[in-house]
Amino acid sequence: MGMMRNHYRPLLRSIALPAALLLFLFSFTVPSHAADKTIGVILPGDLSSYWDIQSEFKNNLKRAGVGGDVEIIIQRPFPDPISLSNAARKLIAIDVNLIVAYGTDAAMAVIKERTNIPLVYAGVYEPAADSLKHRNATGVKANVSVTSLIRYLRKLNSIKEIGVLYSSDEEESVLQLKEVTKAAGQYQFAVRPVNLAGKKKIADLLAGGMPEALFVTGSVVANIKYADIRQQVLSQKVLTAFFMLGRSWQGTLTMTFDPEEQGRQAADLAAKILQGTAPANVADVTSQKIELIFNLKQVTSMGRRIPMDLVTEATSLIK
Amino acid sequence: MKRLRTIALALLLVVFTTPALADDAEILLGLIPDANIFDELIRFRLISDYVSARTGVPIKVKIMSRYGDVIDRFTAVNMDGAFLGAFTGALAINRLGLEPLVRPVDPEGKAESRSIIFVRKDSGIRSVSEMQGKRIVFVDRATVTGHFFALSWIRAAGVTDVDHYFREQQFVGNHDSTVYAVLDNRADVGTCKLRHFNRMVAKDPMIGEELAIIARSGPFPDLTLFVRQDLPKEIKSKLRGGFLSMHNESEGAVVLGKAQITRFDPAVGEDYRPVIDVVNKAGYQIGTYQVK
């Protein structure tokens, strides 16, 4: 008997541990009632720009043709590879009907799990979207131009050095850093990459002194950590350019996609899939609206000249 | 008493409607927002101030808010003349009988303008068939180089319903903005005046790296000073002489240099034949085209 117990112990352990984990997960995430459809959402960093897409996505599901009771389960992981992967696994374990992931890295985390659950992504930088080509995935991309934002930034001042806030953990931001570096060669300015991956503190990384201007890539971590240096940036009159991630009202300039349009488009794609079309037969889309937000108030308070080109081209002015 | 009132009213009408100008009356010239309106206003105020001083004819330059404003402005604000582009010039001849007077010649010795159609190099668009369902950006409905040439080119490729061929048509009001719209991916296809495009590329060569020109037009008359036909001959003559002689005067040459103009050349109505042709090819008639 004792021998038998010893023989089965490893087997029992291998079944019991995952079962306990699943029970634990289910106790927190399983909807209290049975919905017709369940959509799992990965919203990294709890970022407001992703919430803007999500809100429009949710509001447009019915219009897009998703009928019945829809349960939406939202995961808000920190944007590091392990947390994103855990968020994907949780939604797969719940066996949702569809996963919606915001940003390239969240979408990639789902694809890496090799699940059969369809994926709709949104808020993805178009040059990074090639890595998301998969039979179970489709989504909404945004073709925002790094060079355009640099060009507008340079209209404010002939900048000699730009600090680039990025994260080596986030593919999109690495691509954007490369684009800034390419533009630097043409426009003759130096690039100071500031890698915010991991637990590095932004203030420590910039302790040596602020550059003349900061380019905040579409890195979720950079957008979160920027808050720690915001006062310093304003007091030192550093020009800031925010790229991709929503309508930042804190930067001098922001170039981004229209989150409402992305949400509506993602809802259209989700509806097609939930109505039975295979994701492979639902073509991804590029959002059409690009916004340029110019913080006139900030530039005026810095005592800088206001370039009329920027006033003319901006889609929104902060006065 | 009633007769006196009638006479007074008649006198008032004569005073306010007569085309003649008193010796010290100010000449009001309109300027279309061809590129950045602030830069344009500075350029043409420099020139008009100089001509005013030389000829003794006071000139005031005023920006017209939109290209199509020329017709309305002339009748509403009693303008005496305007610097007009190719289409607005043809329109002004046709509808108001305005007279072309002089035309600036650019630093390359050209007094003509050409239109281009351009896309982002990385868009993959190279022909009209690849533009279906895309977004196109024009300057204004009332411009040859920023609207009608592109329409005629698209129609020549067999597209009859341009309005439904594109997902979206934008009118951004000036030539520079069409370039920025395509650079920023706010539009897929753009059209503008070649000179503006070249000026922007000269300032920022990256623009030339990012955009590809896929069509070019023949020459059209460029910005031209028009005056109303009933302006006194003496005033017209003074203005024409003042502009045409600027480059021969040392101070005048400096002012022209600042405005990036080599000299002014005489202009005639026959210069506008290519404009009328391209408008017809775009499917419209100058005489009946609704600007608004």
Nearest to A313 among B168, B180, B209 (CB): B180
- Per-residue confidence (pLDDT) for residue A67, from 0 to 100: 84
Question: Contacts by B74-80 with C-beta closer than 8 Å and gap 24+?
Answer: B74/B30, B74/B98, B74/B228, B77/B28, B78/B28, B79/B28, B79/B29, B79/B30, B79/B228, B80/B21, B80/B27, B80/B28, B80/B29, B80/B227, B80/B228, B80/B231
Distance CA B94, CA B73 (A): 16
More confident residue, B215 or B37: B215
Q: Which range, of A258-267, A269-278, A307-316, B34-43, averages the lowest pLDDT?
A: B34-43
Phi and psi at residue B86, to the nearest 5° = -60, -50
CB contact under 8 Å between A148 and B184, yes or no, is: yes
On whether any CB of chain A is under 8 Å from the CB of B195, the answer is no
- Is the pLDDT assigned to residue A49 strictly greater than 80? yes
Q: Listing from the earlier edge strand, what are the strands of the sheet with B189-193?
A: B168-171, B135-138, B189-193, B115-120, B211-216
Give the pLDDT band (50/70/90) at residue A18. Answer: low
* Chain A hits for B209, Cβ within 8 Å: 186
Q: Which of A293, A307, A302, A229 is nearest to A255 (CA)?
A: A293
Distance CA B217, CA B72 (A): 29
Nearest to B184 among A183, A290, A312 (CB): A290
Give the pLDDT band (50/70/90) at residue A58. Answer: very high
CB contact under 8 Å between A145 and B168, yes or no, is: no
DSSP H/E element including B226: strand B224-227
- Reported as a single tens digit per residue, the pLDDT across A242-253 is 999 977 778 999
- Reported as a single tens digit per residue, the pLDDT across B65-101 is 666 666 777 778 789 999 988 998 999 999 999 999 9
Distance CA B162, CA B220 (A): 23
CB A128 within 8 A of CB A102: no
- Per-residue confidence (pLDDT) for residue A168, from 0 to 100: 95
Give the pLDDT band (50/70/90) at residue A294. Answer: very high
- Is the pLDDT assigned to residue A239 strictly greater than 50? yes
- Supply the mean pLDDT for chain B: 88
On whether any CB of chain A is under 8 Å from the CB of B137, the answer is no
SS3 A292: strand
- Reported as a single tens digit per residue, the pLDDT across A78-131 is 999 999 999 999 999 999 999 999 999 999 999 999 999 999 999 999 999 999
- The whole-number average pLDDT for the span A202-212 is 93
Q: ipTM higher than 0.85?
A: no
- The whole-number average pLDDT for the span A264-281 is 97
Residue of B nearest to A312 (CA): B177
* Chain A hits for B168, Cβ within 8 Å: 288
Give the pLDDT band (50/70/90) at residue B32. Answer: confident
Q: Left if phi > 0, otherwise alpha if psi is -120 to 50, otherwise beta: which for B84?
A: beta
Percent of chain B with pLDDT over 70: 87
Percent of chain B with pLDDT over 90: 72
- Supply the mean pLDDT for chain A: 90
- Is the pLDDT assigned to residue A290 strictly greater than 90? yes
More confident residue, A212 or B9: A212
* Chain B hits for A289, Cβ within 8 Å: 186
CB A263 within 8 A of CB A56: yes
Residue A193 CB partners (closer than 8 Å, separation 6+):
A163, A164, A166, A177
CB B194 within 8 A of CB B176: no
CB contact under 8 Å between B206 and A187, yes or no, is: yes
- Per-residue confidence (pLDDT) for residue A247, from 0 to 100: 79
- Per-residue confidence (pLDDT) for residue B131, from 0 to 100: 97
Q: Which two tokens stand for residue A165?
A: 């806030």
On whether any CB of chain B is under 8 Å from the CB of A228, the answer is no
- Per-residue confidence (pLDDT) for residue B25, from 0 to 100: 79
**What length is written for chain B?**
292
- Per-residue confidence (pLDDT) for residue B40, from 0 to 100: 76
CB contact under 8 Å between B206 and A183, yes or no, is: yes
* Chain B hits for A308, Cβ within 8 Å: 36, 38-39
Which of A175, A188, A294, A312 to mutate to probe the B interface, most B CBs <10 Å?
A: A312
- Reported as a single tens digit per residue, the pLDDT across B236-253 is 999 999 999 999 999 999
- Per-residue confidence (pLDDT) for residue A305, from 0 to 100: 84
CB contact under 8 Å between B184 and A309, yes or no, is: no
Distance CA A310, CA A295 (A): 10
On whether any CB of chain A is under 8 Å from the CB of B65, the answer is no
Q: Is the pTM of this model over 0.95?
A: no
On whether any CB of chain A is under 8 Å from the CB of B178, the answer is no
* Chain B hits for A187, Cβ within 8 Å: 206
